């Protein structure tokens, strides 16, 4: 008998969600995203904003592109309810882990993952990393032939091992017993877990999911982590960034490389 495995992620608490009642995409990241849209898609496109929260990014995109339509998908009803309504916007209450089965045959030109992937957390680190990779794979399956995945993340690049800072942060934030201390140190996700990765790790995950990175740009503002925290977490660089990636088949037909890493070295140099 076939079994369907149900993945139940660790959810943010109501108290933690209050901190996400805001838009994380600033003007710099928005400009990077629209630059990629203009170069690859033009004014008419469809998209799904996975972990789109209160929908501010989607609203801004719909206002900038009157020919666009989009879906905001989030697993937090409290955030989804705050969305402004529009006939070009659909709200879907669901988890990212269900991405491969909720849309049926519907396809999108862009799957956005704006500061969302690091919140897709399961009880163990290994399972969490597998979930992040499976969401990227499912995103690829949702794309039209001209489609792309667009992700914004805090890149946590290690001084000694590329992904060690993210691994340490996951260990500290996912342990319930440490929650009061970790919360006092400033982590909103204390007791729930959060999983940041190095830029090279996201590139490898994207390659595994069948993507080539087309564009990479960093924010000029890179956060408020103190020198002590950077040292303890072995951080070399911690910076917000935007990555635009296209499925390898599209990348090849547009003259890209076949190694799944980069199709434009001038715009997306290797990590």
Quick one: which of 114, 132, 154, 201 contacts ligand SAM (CB under 6 A)? 114
Residue 62 contacts ligand SAM per CB under 6 A:
no
Q: Sign of dihedral through CA atoms 215, 221, 225, 227?
A: positive
Q: Write the Ramachandran bin of 209: left for phi over 0, alpha for psi from -120 to 50, otherwise beta.
A: alpha
Q: Does 33 bind ligand SAM (CB under 6 A)?
A: no
Separation of alpha carbons 32 and 132, rounded Å: 23
User: DSSP readout, 211-236?
Assistant: EEEEEEEE-S------HHHHHHTTEE
Q: Any contact of residue 115 with ligand SAM (CB under 6 A)?
A: yes
Pairwise CA distance, residues 209 & 227, whole Å: 35
Of 120, 196, 202, 211, the residue at the interface with ligand SAM (CB under 6 A) is 120
Six-digit token string for 161: 């091992």
Asked if 187 touches ligand SAM (CB under 6 A), the answer is: no
**Is residue 25 at the binding interface for ligand SAM, with CB under 6 A as the rule?**
yes
51 binds ligand SAM, rule: CB under 6 A: yes
Q: Does residue 29 interact with ligand SAM by CB under 6 A?
A: no
* Comparison of 98 and 236: residue with beta carbon closer to ligand SAM: 98
Region from 100-108, 111-119, 167-175, 217-225 binding ligand SAM, contact rule CB under 6 A: 111-119
Whether residue 72 contacts residue 90, with contact meaning beta carbons closer than 8 Å, is answered with yes
Contacts with ligand SAM by CB under 6 A lie at 9, 12, 20, 23-25, 51-53, 57, 74-76, 79, 95-97, 114-116, 119-120
């Amino acid at each position: 008998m076939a079994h369907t495995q149900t993945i139940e992620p660790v959810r943010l608490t109501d108290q933690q969600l209050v901190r996400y009642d805001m838009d994380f995409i600033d003007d710099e990241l928005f400009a990077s995203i629209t630059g990629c849209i203009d170069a690859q898609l033009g004014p008419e496109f469809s998209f799904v904003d996975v972990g789109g929260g209160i929908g501010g990014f989607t609203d801004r995109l719909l206002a900038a592109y009157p020919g666009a339509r989009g879906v905001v998908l989030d697993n937090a009803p409290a955030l989804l309810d705050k969305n402004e309504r529009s006939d070009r916007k659909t709200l879907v209450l669901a988890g990212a882990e269900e991405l491969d089965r909720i849309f049926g045959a519907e396809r999108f030109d862009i799957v956005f993952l704006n500061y969302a992937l690091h919140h897709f957390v399961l009880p163990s680190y290994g399972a969490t990393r597998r979930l992040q990779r499976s969401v990227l794979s499912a995103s690829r399956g949702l794309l039209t032939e001209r489609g792309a995945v667009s992700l914004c993340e805090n890149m946590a690049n290690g001084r000694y091992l590329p992904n060690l800072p993210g691994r340490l942060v996951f260990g500290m934030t996912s342990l319930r017993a440490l929650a009061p201390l970790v919360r006092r140190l400033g982590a909103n996700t204390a007791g729930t877990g959060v999983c940041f990765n190095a830029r090279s790790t996201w590139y490898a995950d994207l390659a595994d999911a069948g993507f080539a990175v087309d564009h990479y740009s960093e924010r000029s503002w890179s956060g408020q982590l103190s020198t002590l925290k950077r040292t303890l977490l072995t951080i070399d660089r911690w910076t917000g960034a935007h990555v635009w990636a296209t499925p390898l088949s599209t990348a090849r037909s547009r003259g890209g490389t076949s190694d799944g890493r980069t199709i434009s070295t001038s715009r997306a140099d290797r990590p």
